[in-house]
Amino acid sequence: MPQVSQLPPPYSRDWVSFPPPLQGDVDHRAWAFQLAFENARELVRWTVLMTFKDWQQEWKLKGRDVARGNVQQAYSQAPEELKLAVDWQLKWDIPIILRTADGRRWHEHVRRKEAGTYEEVLSPEKFEREFDAALPEVQHAALDTFSAWKWFHEQAVIGAPYRHDVVSSYKAASRPLKRVVCFVLEMAIDWCLQDTRQVIEWEEDINRMVEEQRAHSKRWNQSGKGAGLW
């Protein structure tokens, strides 16, 4: 496995110590990120650095090793989805390597289910907030899911609801349809779904992927401990 520095972090792990002053043109969000980074477990810090390196989206430091002393600058230059990914790793103390925004969504899906906080069906208010926050192509997929569901289950041809009708359409929908539409938004899917079986199959794939990555994490931890790196 790639080597992790045996040197202590650049400042104390306890919360009364603070990161170095802001470096260059980085913002306070990058400073807060480094504070969380330096107070994380060594294994989590290593996976965060690997996430920077392995992130598949094009960005300035793609494929390059990020030194600990440069995490503020790396974070400030990272695309938003990468920032969300490494923030998520540190917030939940989860030592996995994320390469795409989908990976973060998959792990968050499982984390919330295991914590008992997952909502298959959102309230109309939460649904509207999630819809408004989604990318245009995901919004279109959610709207098309209403008509695809109608055709698949009733062989009825209806047009997708307009944006100003989406909340009323959601309120009138059956619980299974609500579940599917919410899943489209949660996973940022850019094509429509038509049946809950698709969600179930998707979740099975997610669970399998998460378990595989957790197994990798255990091996990384054992290797790091065996090498005296943490």
| 94 and 183 belong to one structural domain | no
Of 214 and 226, more confident: 214
pLDDT tens-digit series, residues 15-46: 444 455 555 555 678 889 999 999 999 999 99
Residue 117 in domain = yes
User: Where in the sequence is the domain holding 78, given as residue range(s)?
Assistant: 12-99
| 130 and 191 belong to one structural domain | yes
pLDDT tens-digit series, residues 65-121: 999 889 999 999 999 999 999 999 999 999 999 999 999 999 999 999 999 999 999
Residue 31 in domain = yes
Residue 7 in domain = no
CA distances from 27 to 73, 76, 84, 206 (A): 9, 7, 15, 34
| 61 and 118 belong to one structural domain | no
pLDDT given for residue 157 in this prediction: 82
The total number of structural domains in the chain stands at: 2
| 215 and 185 belong to one structural domain | yes
Average pLDDT, the chain: 90
The pTM score is: 0.86
